Amino acid sequence: MSSELSFFDLIIKASFLVQIVMLILLALSVISWTMIFQRQKVLKQAHVSSRKFEDRFWSGSDLSKLYNELSARTNSLEGLESLFCSGFKEFARLSKNNMASSGTIMDGTHRSMRVALSREIEKLEANLSFLATVGSISPYIGLFGTVWGIMNAFISLGAVKQATLQMVAPGIAEALIATAMGLFAAIPAVVFYNRFAHKVEKLDSNYGNFMEEFSNILHRQAVAKSETKV
Amino acid sequence: MTLNEIFPSLLKSSALHIVLAIGLVISVSFEDDTPDVLQVTLNQEKAIEAISVDQKAVEQRIKELKNNDVSKKRKEEQRIKNLEKRANEARKKRQAEARRIKKLEQQRQAKEREKKKAEAATKKAKAKQKIEQNKAAKAKANKEKAEKAAKAAAKKRKKEEKALADAQKARKQKEVEEKRKAEAARQKALEEQLLQEQLAQEQAVRAKAKQQQVLTEVEKYKAMIMARIAQNFLKDEKMKGKQCRLNIRLAFNGLVTKAISLGGDKLVCEAALRSIRMADTLPVSKDRAVFEQLKNINFTFKPDF
C-alpha cells in the first residue's frame, strides 16, 4: 500500500475485466465525441445553407432561373435546395402534360417534396441514435465494472482474518473509477443528443414550412395556368 | 459517411480526451495521511525524536543504540590516534635513514681524500724518477742512441701513465654519480610507498565508518519493525517469557513478501505472523545500502508485558 494513490495507479492496478470495461468506456467516449463534433458541423451547415436559400428564394427572382442554376449542380444540393429542386421538377413535368388538373399537379409535387424532405431529415439525424445509446448504456457498463471490482475486493477480503479499512479502500476506489468513466462518457452524449434532436426538429419544421409555402406558390401558378387554358 | 469526413472530428475528440486525461493525472493524486511516526529519514536525531513521542520501547532501544554509537566512536578515535602514532614513527624512521645516508656520504668523501693523497705521493715519486732519469741521460750523454731510445721509452711510458690516470678519474666520477642517483631513486620510492600506505589507511577508516553507519541504521529499522509488530500484536498471558524467531522478506517499499517463523513458541509465532500480515508494510529505509541489509532479515521477537 503506497502512501500515494494516483489516478494512473488506480487504473493500472485494476483487475483485467474492470480494465476492459474502462477501455470500452473510453472508446465509447471518444467515438461519441467524434459524433458530437461531426453532427455539430453538419447541423450548423444545414442551418446556414437553409437561411441563405430562403433569402434567395424570397428575393423575388425568377423561380425557373433559380431552378436552372441549382440543377446545374445536382449532386451537391442540400436541405431546402434539394427540396425546391425536386418539387419544381415534378411540377414542371406534370404541368407540361396538359391533361392534369391543378389538383393532381399539386398532389404529385407535394409527394415528391415530402420524399425529399424525409431524405434530408434522415441525413441530419444520422448517428444521433448512437449518441442516445451511449448516453443510456455507458452508466450501466461503468456500474458493471464497479460491481465486479467491489466483488473482487470483498472476495479477497474474505481470505483475511482481520480486515482493516486500508485493505478494502483501494479496491473500492479502483472499482469506482469505472463508474466515473461511465458517467464521463454518458453526460456529454445525453446533453448533445438532446441539443441535436432539438436542432433537427427545428430544421424539420423549417423545411416543412418552406415546403408548404412553396407549394402554395406553385398551386397559384397551376390554377392560373388551368384558368387560361379554359 | 466516409473516413475523410469523420477524421477531423475524430482528431478533435482524441485531443480532448488526451488533454483531459493528462489534466486528471497531473491534478488528482490522493494522498493518504500516514502518521509521521513511521516516516523515517536518515537524520538520526529527528527519527529518534519522532519515535519517542509514541513508543517508549523504541526510544529505549534507540538510546541503547546511541550509547553503543558513542562507545564505537570513542574506539574509532583511539584507532585514529594509533594510526597517527604509527605515522609519526614512520617519519622518525625516515629521518634516521636520512642521517645514515649522510654518514655514508661522509665516509665516502674521506676515502676519496685518502685516494687523492696516495695519488699525490705517486706523483711525487714519479717526479723523482724523472729527475733520476734525467741524470742518467746526462750521464749517458755520449751514448746517444741509447739515450734516444731511453727517452722515447720514457715518453711512451709517461703517455700511458697519463691515460691510465685519466681513465681512473673518469671511472671514479661515474661511480660517484651512479651512487648518488641510486640513492635519490631509493629515497623517492620510499616516500611514495609511505604516502600510499597512508592513503590506503585513510580509505579503510572511511569505509569502516560508512559500514558502521549502515549497521546502526539497520539496527534502528529492526527496532522499528519490531515496534510495528508489537503494535498489532495481540498479547496473551500464556506468552509471558516466550519468544519466536522470525524471517521476514521485504519489498523495496516495505511490503512484506514473505514472513515465516524459524522456530520458537508456537503461540507467539502465530500471533507475530498475524500481526505482520495486519501491518502489511513495515518501515524500511530509502537508503539502498541499508535496504540491502533489511531485505531479508531474521530476528527474535519477544512480547513484552
Q: What is the mean pLDDT of each run of 10 residues along chain B (305 residues)?
A: 78 90 76 50 50 70 90 93 94 93 94 93 93 86 82 92 93 93 93 93 90 84 84 79 85 82 83 83 79 82 79
Our CA-based measurement puts residue A152 at a distance from the nearest CA of chain B, in whole angstroms, of: 19
Please state the domain extents for chain B.
Answer: 55-232, 235-305
ipTM of the prediction greater than 0.85, yes or no: no
| Confidence category of residue A188, pLDDT binned at 50, 70, 90 | very high
| Strands A4-6, B29-31: pairing kind | antiparallel
In chain B, which residue's Cα lies nearest the Cα of A25?
Answer: B17
> What residues of A are in contact with residue B12 (Cβ under 8 Å)?
33-34, 37
Q: CATH assignment of B235-305, given 3.40.50.720, 3.30.1150.10, 1.10.260.40, 3.50.50.60?
A: 3.30.1150.10
| Cell digits of residue B211 | 559500514
- Compute the 3-state secondary structure of chain B and give helix, strand, coil in percent, each to the nearest 5: 75, 10, 15
**How close is the nearest chain A Cα to the Cα of B269, in Å?**
16
The whole-number pLDDT of residue B214 equals 81
Is residue A136 predicted with pLDDT exceeding 50? yes
> Is A131 in contact with A189 (CB distance < 8 Å)?
yes
Instruction: Look at chain A and report how many structural domains it folds into.
Output: 1
Across the range A194-216, mean pLDDT stands at: 92
Residue A1 lies in a domain: no
Q: Name the closest residue on chain A to residue B2, using Cα atoms.
A: A38
Chain B residue with minimum CA distance to A6: B29
User: Averaging pLDDT over each range in A95-99, A187-191, B142-146, B241-245, which range is the top one?
Assistant: A187-191
Which of A4, A30, A38 has the most B C-beta neighbours within 10 Å, making it the best mutation to test the interface with B?
A38
How many angstroms away from the CA of B282 is the closest CA of chain A? 11
**CB spacing of B13 vs A34 below 8 angstroms:** yes
Which chain A residue's Cα is nearest to B9? A34
Q: What's the gap between Cα B177 and its chain centre?
A: 39
- Residue A190 domain-assigned (yes or no): yes
Orientation of helix A165-229 relative to helix A80-96, angle to 10°: 30
Q: What is the pLDDT of residue A2?
A: 42
- Domain ranges, residue A36: 7-229
Given this model, what pLDDT does residue A3 score? Answer: 42
For residue B304, the distance in angstroms to the closest alpha carbon of chain A comes to 22
User: How does pLDDT run across A20-67, given as a tens digit for each residue?
Assistant: 999 999 999 999 999 999 999 999 999 999 999 889 888 887 888 888
**Residues A115, A119, A123, CA angle at the centre, nearest 5°?**
170
Instruction: Using DSSP, state whether A195 is helix, strand or coil.
Output: helix
User: What pLDDT score does B42 carry?
Assistant: 55
Residues of chain A with pLDDT > 90: what percent?
A: 39
Instruction: Give yes or no for a contact between B245 and B188, defined as CB atoms under 8 angstroms apart.
Output: no
**Spatial distance between the Cα atoms of B165 and A227, rounded to a whole number of angstroms:** 163
Asked if B269 contacts B261 with a C-beta cutoff of 8 angstroms, the reply is yes
Q: Look over chain A and give the mean of its residue pLDDT values, rounded to a whole number.
A: 86
Q: Which residues pair with B284 in a beta bridge?
A: none
Cβ separation B278–A162 shorter than 8 A: yes
How does residue A14 score in pLDDT terms, banded at 50, 70 and 90? confident
Contacts within 8 Å (CB) and 24+ apart, B254-257:
B254/B281, B254/B282, B254/B283, B254/B284, B255/A1, B255/B280, B255/B281, B256/B280, B256/B281, B256/B282
Per-residue confidence (pLDDT) for residue B158, from 0 to 100: 93
Chain B residues with CB-CB distance to A126 below 8 A? 1
CA distance B40 to A15: 33
Whether residue A194 is predicted with pLDDT greater than 50 in this model: the reply is yes
For residue A68, tell me if it sits in a domain: yes
Query: How confident is the model at residue B32, as a pLDDT?
Result: 52
What span, in angstroms and rounded, lies between the C-alpha atoms of A213 and A220?
A: 11
Cα distances (angstroms) measured from residue B233 to each of B97, B227, B230, B275, B301: 70, 10, 5, 5, 11
Q: Nearest-CA neighbor of A62 among A221, A223, A229?
A: A221
3-state secondary structure of B133: helix
Distance, CA of B286 to CA of B288 (rounded, Å):
6
